[in-house]
Structure 1
Amino acid sequence: MSLRLLHIDTSARAGRSGTDPHGSHSRRLSARFVERWHALRPGDAVEHLDVGQQPPGFVDGRWIHAAFTAPEQREPWMTERLAESDRLVDQLLAADLVVVGLPMYNFGVPAQFKAWIDNVVRVGRTFGFDRARGAVPYWPMLPPGKRLVLLGARGDHGYGPGGRIAHMNHAEAMVRTAFSYIGLTEVHEAAAEGDEFGGALLADSLARAEAEVDAMVDAMVDALTGAVTAPAAGQPLVAV
């Protein structure tokens, strides 16, 4: 059975590190994941969404008014105001696997990606709300079986679980919370650190992160097919 991947890049940097001057490490990792996946499962569809370069609109008062108005009672301007959100929610609903390149900006997620999250964590589309339910009026609405991959990049080092400044990492934790709230709880992560230091620290971290990405893809594909044949050494992966 073929799957659908939603590949989201969120970095303000347009290129990939190692390929483009001043390129993004998170774009490098997300591209590596998707390209390796495509090499192993070429029949799976991939949709790329670049919110780093083309961010969605921010939620405002008119958006909130429209979203919390019952669909059958919405005025034409409300439908128009929610059109972008509807498109983004439809993309998410159609995806089996969501792959996010996630740089840390000031201990959290980029504003562009927060805008995307605010557009898809939406009453009546991805979570339900009913005051009659009492103390817990919310429930998730995403179909089961979806998976999330977060591929991070951080300027300092030690943000990972058990690290010296893990308590300052509000990026992955925030995304996990938002997705679990709407019903997606299976999350896989890898990250490169040390961009602000450069040198061997960054190079070693990137190498570890790339190895983790490769192993992650192989394990996930293996779980789907029962067997994996990785690309031969030196063989280029298929670009998507």
Structure 2
Amino acid sequence: MEEHKSTVRAVERALDILLCFTDGTDLAMTEIAERVGLHKSTVHRMLATLEERGFIARDSASDRYRLGMRIWELSTHLSNNDDPAIILLPEMERLRDELGETVSLYIRDGDDRLRVQAVQSGQAIRRVAPVGARLPLYVGASSKVLIAFAEEADREVLMNGKSWPTGFDRKQLEEQLEEIRRIGYATSVEEREAGAAAVATPIFHRSGKLAAALSVSGPASRLTLKKMRDYAPIIMNSARLMGTMVK
């Protein structure tokens, strides 16, 4: 039994090390040790094993680590048949071309939202939206959509959770969520990032469950509240079409 626990713990630690690279392309061993909360000697041994297996690569000149080619090899075998990020990309590109702003796709992951796809605006001043970005669930148009249209039990857990910042007005958010469910979309102006605005709407699976949030974002100077309200029916139509594409 102890041996089993030790093996599972080793796997968890290795996965924690790999997950360090979700927000960094290359890291020093000391940075990794700090992030996973392990002694440097333990991290060094695990990095050596991961490097030997091809999951981690080390730059000998800088002594920094990055993801290895085995990660990319595995990713090529992911099934695209049910992946919304792949299936919905053509419609996202069409919407971007119609509105001229950045289009993003978000899913909920625990107490965060994760950007799983983005199509950048072609305008000189634009909202850059990197794929893979993990953002807080308590602020922003897409976050509000992911909470508002979650199943009631999930929404109750989220609203009563402990991840909210100190002093956050949950009562005000609940009032906003009720309005979002009524009109079918959410807006935000400089809520998370100065100078940025966004409008988002839900995409539902064919079963009726929430699949993702579809967002259009750009500079607040160009994407005014009036313009976002004008864009909302267009974005909602795209979201309904996307809903017929995802299982």
Q: TM-score, normalised by structure 1?
A: 0.26
Decide which structure has greater helix share: 2
Q: TM-score, normalised by structure 2?
A: 0.26
Higher relative contact order (CA 8 A, sep 6+): 1
Compare CA radii of gyration and give the structure with the larger one: 2
